[in-house]
Structure 1
């Protein structure tokens, strides 16, 4: 029974994939505008951030839209296409759930933030004007 359920969701994802990708492109919000100096500060602050995701995950799309809206140059790691990224997520965060924002603090601490709403709240609190 478990195999049938997995097969059902696999087929469903494959059927919905083109629509999810089109939605992600068409629904991108307009990015915020910052002065060059302010954008340079944001760019430097984003240096230690990596978003673990994959293209057709609706929760990842939600986070990527917020990243685009805030004009953040966050590194993206696709766990479906890059086995090393998936291993890094499992080793560091402890689970293969996406989206996951890896935050490397300047003092050497590492934080793994799961849940799209929590990630968006963190990004808004840290980078919104």
Structure 2
């Protein structure tokens, strides 16, 4: 099973590379404002997870500079479990006005990003 997952993961990564979506072009001042808003966000993810790829593609389409955190590393996995409540990816960590929210589910994350930055 490990071999099948590994092969499928590599196929997903290659397909994502080949069919990378076009980035949204914004004026520099507007992009700077968006970068300020995304500075306190981080996406916990696995590189070859199809749902994580879906969220990263949406981020790329919107030209969002959100930090990417590899949840396979033990320390990052612990942070995700202790603060987010469970080890599930993709998970978007959002820090606003001193409050930290952990958002799971790729569909919910993409809807949030589209509403906030579209």
Matched, 1:102 2:93: yes
Which blocks of at least 5 consecutive residues in structure 1 are unaligned?
1-7
Please identify runs of 4+ aligned residues in structure 1 that moved more than 6 A. Answer: none
TM-score (normalizing by structure 2) = 0.96
Quote the offset at 1:17 in angstroms.
Answer: 2.3
Matched, 1:115 2:84: no
Pairs within 5 Å for 1:1-129: 8=1, 10-80=2-72, 82-106=73-97, 108-128=98-118
In structure 2, C-alpha distance between the alignment counterparts of 1:120 and 1:17, rounded to whole Å:
21
Quote the offset at 1:20 in angstroms.
Answer: 1.2
Aligned length: 118
Q: Secondary structure at the match of 1:97?
A: coil
Q: Does the Cα contact within 8 Å between 2:90 and 2:105 map onto a contact in 1?
A: yes
Quote the offset at 1:11 in angstroms.
Answer: 2.7
Q: What is residue 5 of structure 1 aligned with on the other side?
A: none
TM-score (normalizing by structure 1) = 0.88
Q: Secondary structure at the match of 1:43?
A: helix
In structure 1, C-alpha distance between the alignment counterparts of 2:22 and 2:64, rounded to whole Å:
13
Larger Rg: 1
Which blocks of at least 5 consecutive residues in structure 2 are unaligned?
none
| RMSD (Å), alpha carbons | 0.9
